[in-house]
Structure 1
């Protein structure tokens, strides 16, 4: 087991609504196995992105625990130094939106986490080129700035950046929402080929085909609560 999530709750205080409380997650519990691909699905507002942001400690947890077993820490309560160390070495996260760095080329955006971890710059850039090529980004764009790209092109750079370090735990929040069907197929092929059993993935998806192609199990959320957890072979219906 790599993660044990126990009665995880996240509440948001809405100051613009006179302090009204909105529940993002309501007592969600789930165990995530080493090396598995857990897809998280549910309608908009069901708590999918909130779950990933709590796992990454982007959101402060209201109550509950997130036991990350390799480091023997609770991600819900560990200090900033610990979470920053884990983000730099073991836990990766990407959303559907690229956090663009001004005047940095696409290949260097993808290579950056590898260089920061100690890989020689040219080796890191070579891996970045390989990933971008596998995702169908045209070669002339490798040295261009992602700020000038289309939404789908930026998302390819974002996904390549997430895959590049092969983290122990990878959190993917709708990483293919802007991709056309052919590029989604390329993304599926790349994820399957590039990530080995040493990487565990928790991924939010709206596309049913992506879930069927990648997931081992499916966590279904609704109104911030766990509605179901089942093998992907038993998952039916449209991902909302």
Structure 2
């Protein structure tokens, strides 16, 4: 089985200068993700789950360890030590990240945000528009919202827009930080169906979930992160 991601001894500490003390977020995280595989992460709040994803996406720089990603663009690359130019390129064309919070350029409409995701993935403008509108419809975002700024959206609408932006490009590696946190049950089913489709098409995924029922039939392996370290559980 081809490995797409190998994490070895990953640790992240934060130093609070004003208090002159160090906080350990996660420690000695080691696991492997196969191509087309899906790893679920569960655990209590504050255990370090989101930190692991952010170290992979490199919005956090790991304190120690390796995050070796087998990329199409550069081959095997340690994301901890890769230069910023390569990280930015990978985020555009190979990596996707869905968080509970919407991050969007100022004066960008919902439609433009999803179009930009498709353009980053290399689709033509015409294809990007078509894919963006298809994705917005899929996640049941009303057409009355497409051409306004998303700062007025509800929490659920912002999360659906995040999902549309990340999934429109069918990334090679998709990181999901509680992607169903503020969604109703019908929308959760839409998310699960699309994740299953992406998985069948070869997208590799790591997801943080509190909803164990949602994870059933989706994850190949589940890790429980407790006090910053990993314990492997059964697949759901």
Question: Which TM-score applies when normalising by structure 2?
Answer: 0.92
Partner secondary structure for residue 114 of structure 2? helix
Partner of 2:189: 185
Partner of 1:159: 163
Which of 155-164 and 82-91 deviates more? 82-91
Q: 1:95-126: CA deviations, max 9, x gaps?
A: 11111333322111111022234422232121
Q: 1:202-227: CA deviations, max 9, x gaps?
A: 11112112211422211110111012
1:91–1:170 CA contact under 8 A, matched in 2:
yes
Partner of 1:54: 55
Indicate which of 105, 110, 114 corresponds to 2:114. Answer: 110
Q: 1:1-240 to 2 correspondence within 5 Å?
A: 1-17=3-19, 19-70=20-71, 71-232=75-236
Deviation at 1:195, TM superposition (A): 4.7
Q: Structure 2 CA distance, aligned partners of 1:86 and 1:229?
A: 30
Give the root-mean-square deviation of aligned CA atoms: 1.5
Q: How many residues align?
A: 231
Which of 21-30 and 204-213 deviates more? 204-213
1:188–1:213 CA contact under 8 A, matched in 2:
no
Which of 154-163 and 98-107 deviates more? 98-107
Q: 1:62-116: CA deviations, max 9, x gaps?
A: 1111111232111111111221222122112121111133332211111102223
Q: Structure 1 CA distance, aligned partners of 2:229 and 2:13?
A: 13
Change (3 A) 1:8 1:126: same
Q: 5+ unaligned residues in a row in structure 2: which ranges?
A: none
1:40–1:221 CA contact under 8 A, matched in 2:
yes
Q: 1:176-219: CA deviations, max 9, x gaps?
A: 21111221112112222345332101111121122114222111
Q: 5+ unaligned residues in a row in structure 1: which ranges?
A: 233-240
Partner secondary structure for residue 127 of structure 1? helix
Which of 187-196 and 33-42 deviates more? 187-196
Which of 71-80 and 52-61 deviates more? 71-80
Q: Structure 1 CA distance, aligned partners of 2:5 and 2:127?
A: 32
Deviation at 1:26, TM superposition (A): 0.8
Runs of at least 4 residues off by over 3 Å: 194-197
